[in-house]
Amino acid sequence: MKQNKWRIISLGIAIFIIGVTFPFWYGKGESPVPPALDLDTPEISLLTEKKCIEDTAFMRTKHMKLLKAWRDEAVREGERLYTAGDGRVFEKSLTGSCLGCHSNKERFCDRCHNYVGVAPTCYDCHIIPGEVKK
Ligand code: HEC
Ligand code: HEC
Ligand code: HEC
């Protein structure tokens, strides 16, 4: 009878594990299609400026860290210029650099952020080009 008890316990544990990990494996392989990012902008066509500050994979995964490092360096250390991996120099500025090229914030930054469910609070203070704050 002791053996039976263990069988029931293992079954219980197995069901628990399946239940707890369900959200992580369910729907894998048929995940929703990520949003199309619009790279064309009215002012500067990103189709002519072909490269971001760093390569796409880096930007996709590290832009938040880059921006926060920029903020700290610019504001605390007065270090306002960033030299990219390929030697191009950019101003460490959210509005001036990022949104200078990605001026279609809504169809670029926001579209992806909405999809992944992040809402950066930067724009409480930082200006979005072309948008008058109410
Ligand atoms: C409470 C207001 C406030 C919020 C919220 C805020 N900032 Fe700032 N930020 C400032 C101020 C003030 C400066 C200083 C402006 C200067 O010295 O040019 C600054 C400067 C910066 C700079 C360097 C200068 C420039 O023109 O961009 C960066 C980069 C920056 N912030 C990024 C961010 C990011 C990224 C976020 C969101 C995660 C953010 N900030 C949220 C107020 C804010
Ligand atoms: C000189 C113009 C320019 C500047 C400045 C710029 N970008 Fe980009 N960015 C591009 C272009 C062009 C692409 C698409 C090609 C590529 O990935 O290099 C891109 C791609 C990206 C991507 C990847 C999009 C994808 O396909 O997943 C992210 C994220 C991004 N940029 C964020 C930023 C942020 C944040 C800043 C400011 C720190 C910034 N960019 C500054 C031109 C720029
Ligand atoms: C391809 C998708 C994608 C694009 C395009 C994109 N982001 Fe993000 N962004 C993310 C993800 C994912 C996170 C959250 C990462 C995390 O939680 O660690 C994020 C986080 C951030 C954060 C940090 C927010 C916080 O409060 O910690 C900032 C700032 C930011 N993005 C700025 C931008 C700007 C500016 C642009 C447009 C120039 C942009 N992003 C375009 C995917 C994207």
Tens digit of pLDDT for each residue in 40-97? 665 555 555 678 999 999 999 999 999 999 999 999 999 999 999 999 999 999 999 9
pLDDT of residue 6: 75
- What pLDDT was estimated at residue 107? 87
Please tell me the predicted confidence (pLDDT) of residue 22.
Answer: 57
Ligand 1 centroid – CA 71 distance (Å): 6
Residue nearest to atom 41 of ligand 3 (CA): 109
List of residues 6+ apart from 39 with CB closer than 8 A: 46, 47, 108
Distance CA 111, CA 38 (A): 9
Mutate to test the pocket of ligand 2, among 52, 68, 107 (most ligand atoms within 8 A of CB): 52
* Confidence check: pLDDT of 26 > 70: no
Cα distances from 95 to residues 15, 75, 126, in angstroms, run: 51, 14, 7
In this structure, the number of other CB atoms found within 10 A of the CB of residue 62 comes to 12
Ligand nearest to the CA of 118: 3
Query: Is the pLDDT confidence value at 134 over 50?
Result: no
- Only one residue has tokens 């064309």, namely 40
**55 CA to middle of ligand 2, Å?**
8
| Distance from C-alpha of 127 to C-alpha of 94, rounded to nearest angstrom | 9
**pLDDT of residue 27 exceeding 60:** no
Give pLDDT, residue 132.
Answer: 55
Q: How far is CA 102 from the centre of its chain?
A: 14
